[in-house]
Chains A and B, each alone.
Chain A
Amino acid sequence: MFNYILKRILYLLVIMFIISILTFSLSRLVPGDPAEVILRSSGVEPTQEAVESMRENLGLNQPVVWQYIDWLGGILQWDFGRSFTTGRPVIQEIWYRFPATLELALAGVVVMFCLSFPAGIISAVFKNTYLDHLGRFLALVGASFPSYWLGLLLIYFFGVQNSLLPVMGRGTGRHLILPAFTLGLGMAAVYARLLRANLLEVLNQDYIRTARAKGLSEKAVVLKHALKNALLPVITAFGVNFGYLLGGTVIIETIFNWPGLGKFVVEAIFNRDYPVLQAYVLFMALVFVTINTLVDIIYGVLDPRIASERRN
């Protein structure tokens, strides 16, 4: 197990290295001369001398490889550059906003679990009944619902029409309800379907018949013997999707004026704040890859077959 974790971490480092190259080259996508862009965005007339000194300053006159090593060296010392707009270190800005995004994402996951688990289990257990058809139809609708439209509709009904819930900003737990629901619903639909399919497959297995032959109640058969097996693939999918979820908060944060990373990045895009974008990509990739690694490890703990495979 220890060896396996070590191997995974090594792999993570390799991936991060390639990601850093990719991220670095992303900055080359920017149309025009970065020096000029920076000068403009800080309100300085980009004269010949000003641009030249800025290029010197940024190290843009050096060969690309040197620039990359310089940049990477900075990052390894936790220096991601400074934001054009606020002038503060980018990494500070990101750390400052990450908790809000994480809070929203986790709340979305809670909503997702609360909706998808009962729906998936009921659908599978009552396969091909009205309940199942209803559940599957709702899942299809949920998966097709644009989150930004759902957000707007919720704001309209709960904020504009009734003022039942706060629709803007972050603060009390009540602020969290609408954004979390918006974020969780689409995912819940996907997971309900996934869980249903997995459960149906598991319920056909021999060991389920064994459990029934023991005289276990249907409830014990499904909740004890089937669910744990059906959850394994769901967990893998979840690892991949949690990263997407963190990215998916971008739109929801914008709609609900949630002061997190996503909103910050959208603002950075329109402010042409490139260091922020670069750091954001790198940061998200790091979070994403880390979560995947964690999920892999958890998977091994849950599935004894894999755990012993890794031991050998």
Chain B
Amino acid sequence: MLRKGGIKIAVQKKQLKNKFFSYLSTIDKLSLIGLVIILFFIIFGILAPFLVPNDPIEIDLTQRFLAPNGEFLMGTDHLGRDVFSRLLYGIRTSLSTAFLVLIFSMVVSVIVGTTAGYFGGKIDQLVIGVIDTLLAFPGLVLALVIAGLLGPSLINLMIALAVTHWVGYARIIRGMVMSIKEQEYILAARACGAGDLHIILVHILPNIISPVLVLATLDMGYIILSISGLSFLGLGAQPPTPEWGVMLNAGRPYMQLAPWLMFFPGMAIFLIVLAFNILGDGLRDIFDPRDVA
């Protein structure tokens, strides 16, 4: 009897624990945090001109290397500029650039992937050939070299990233469209005399939207990392543009003197990337594009 009671108590404990963990592992709560961080960044980015305490570009050599203080929350850099103000403007650079790259990649890959997947045959063979070849390059290497050949600038960097980035999506989307195409309701729609364009727009695209959005969210972090990384190397945004990677690189020689110059921009990149990854993870658990693909 005693032992039986023991089992029952153990069970109750386990149930409680299970509840606690299922609460913890409810990604929804966590991804909500990710979403909130992202929204914060966006709002701060939009409102940057009204929020910044100091001009992000104006040089004041009398105020170089000031440690973080009441006036300069994150200190000043080697040219006496306010790091906090530059950081806020950096949100604009990073997010808008990454967003444009993402939109371009998405549009191209949806068009290419859907066309190839839906029509199949020769078109598909051609597309898949191109995709496979492009995927044979390590994407970052190709982007690096394209950006390098075009010459260092933010626009060229965006082109380089977009050109190399759509390929992966296109492949996934093609796969999704190919499997959706075989579904009964598509056959039914065709039997009712619906045209190809109608079927694609009404029956196929809505079905790939949510997995594609998950992919996009998961990828946003990667794109931001790439942009800042290549800018860090000097291939993207050029000084004096406030951009986090550029700021990191500029602060590098003064590491000993002014460590805050490399601390805050890095933290900003890390936070926004983490937020996108958290959100993407949560969304993936809901939709799981792998199931569709």
**Residue interface bits B252-293, CB-to-A below 8 A is 1, else 0:** 100110010011011101100110011001000000000000
- Contact status of A19 and B149, CB under 8 A, knowing A128-B25, A148-B248: no
What residues of A have a CB within 8 angstroms of the CB of B133 in the complex? 15, 18-19, 22
What residues of B have a CB within 8 angstroms of the CB of A269 in the complex? 144-145, 147-148, 152, 235
Which of B42-50, B75-83, B187-195, B225-233 lies at the binding interface? B225-233
- CB of A295, distance to nearest CB on chain B (Å): 13
Is B175 an interface residue, CB under 8 A from the partner?
no
Taking a contact as CB atoms under 8 Å apart, the answer to whether B138 and A288 are in contact is yes
- Contact status of A15 and B136, CB under 8 A, knowing A144-B270, A146-B270, A152-B252: yes
Cα separation A277 to B225 with both chains bound (whole Å): 23
What residues of A have a CB within 8 angstroms of the CB of B140 in the complex? 244, 247-248, 250
Is A289 an interface residue, CB under 8 A from the partner?
yes
Taking a contact as CB atoms under 8 Å apart, the answer to whether A149 and B270 are in contact is yes
Instruction: Please tell me which one of the listed residues A15, A148, A268 contacts residue B132 in the complex, with CB atoms under 8 A apart.
Output: A15
Most buried by A among B138, B228, B270: B138
What residues of B have a CB within 8 angstroms of the CB of A133 in the complex? 21, 24-25
Taking a contact as CB atoms under 8 Å apart, the answer to whether B149 and A251 are in contact is no
Main secondary structure, interface of A, reads helix
Interface residues of A in 138-176 (CB under 8 A from B): 140-141, 143-149, 152-153, 155-156, 160
- CB of A212, distance to nearest CB on chain B (Å): 20
Is A119 an interface residue, CB under 8 A from the partner?
no
Taking a contact as CB atoms under 8 Å apart, the answer to whether B137 and A251 are in contact is no
Size category of the binding interface on chain A: 35 or more
Taking a contact as CB atoms under 8 Å apart, the answer to whether A247 and B233 are in contact is no
- CB of A49, distance to nearest CB on chain B (Å): 27
- Contact status of A277 and B229, CB under 8 A, knowing A22-B133, A144-B277, A155-B255: no
Taking a contact as CB atoms under 8 Å apart, the answer to whether B137 and A281 are in contact is yes
Identify the closest chain A residue to B148 (Cβ): A269
Is B123 an interface residue, CB under 8 A from the partner?
no
- CB of B19, distance to nearest CB on chain A (Å): 12
Size category of the binding interface on chain B: 35 or more
- CB of A136, distance to nearest CB on chain B (Å): 9
Taking a contact as CB atoms under 8 Å apart, the answer to whether B138 and A146 are in contact is no
Taking a contact as CB atoms under 8 Å apart, the answer to whether A149 and B136 are in contact is no
What residues of A have a CB within 8 angstroms of the CB of B152 in the complex? 269-270
Cα separation A15 to B132 with both chains bound (whole Å): 8
Instruction: Please tell me which one of the listed residues B144, B245, B281 contacts residue A247 in the complex, with CB atoms under 8 A apart.
Output: B144
Instruction: Please tell me which one of the listed residues A19, A146, A152, A246 contacts residue B136 in the complex, with CB atoms under 8 A apart.
Output: A19
- CB of B117, distance to nearest CB on chain A (Å): 21
Taking a contact as CB atoms under 8 Å apart, the answer to whether A246 and B262 are in contact is no
- CB of B27, distance to nearest CB on chain A (Å): 10
Identify the closest chain A residue to B257 (Cβ): A160
- CB of A104, distance to nearest CB on chain B (Å): 15
Main secondary structure, interface of B, reads helix
- Contact status of A29 and B144, CB under 8 A, knowing A19-B137, A284-B137: no
Cα separation A17 to B232 with both chains bound (whole Å): 33
- Contact status of A146 and B233, CB under 8 A, knowing A15-B133, A19-B133, A247-B144: no
Interface residues of B in 225-251 (CB under 8 A from A): 225, 228-229, 232-235, 245, 248
Is B211 an interface residue, CB under 8 A from the partner?
no
What residues of B have a CB within 8 angstroms of the CB of A265 in the complex? 144-145, 148
Is B10 an interface residue, CB under 8 A from the partner?
no
What residues of B have a CB within 8 angstroms of the CB of A179 in the complex? none
Is A227 an interface residue, CB under 8 A from the partner?
no
What residues of A have a CB within 8 angstroms of the CB of B151 in the complex? 31
Taking a contact as CB atoms under 8 Å apart, the answer to whether A281 and B145 are in contact is yes
Identify the closest chain B residue to A270 (Cβ): B234
Is B52 an interface residue, CB under 8 A from the partner?
no
Is A69 an interface residue, CB under 8 A from the partner?
no
Is B142 an interface residue, CB under 8 A from the partner?
yes
Please name 18 pairs of A and B residues whose Cβ atoms are closer than 8 Å in the assembled complex, sorted by A: A15-B136, A29-B149, A133-B25, A140-B278, A148-B228, A149-B248, A149-B267, A247-B140, A247-B141, A250-B140, A265-B148, A269-B147, A269-B152, A277-B148, A277-B149, A281-B142, A284-B137, A289-B136
Q: A146-B228, A265-B148, A269-B144 are in contact. List 12 more A-B contacts (CB 8 A).
A: A29-B146, A140-B274, A144-B273, A144-B277, A146-B229, A146-B269, A152-B262, A152-B266, A248-B140, A281-B141, A281-B142, A292-B136
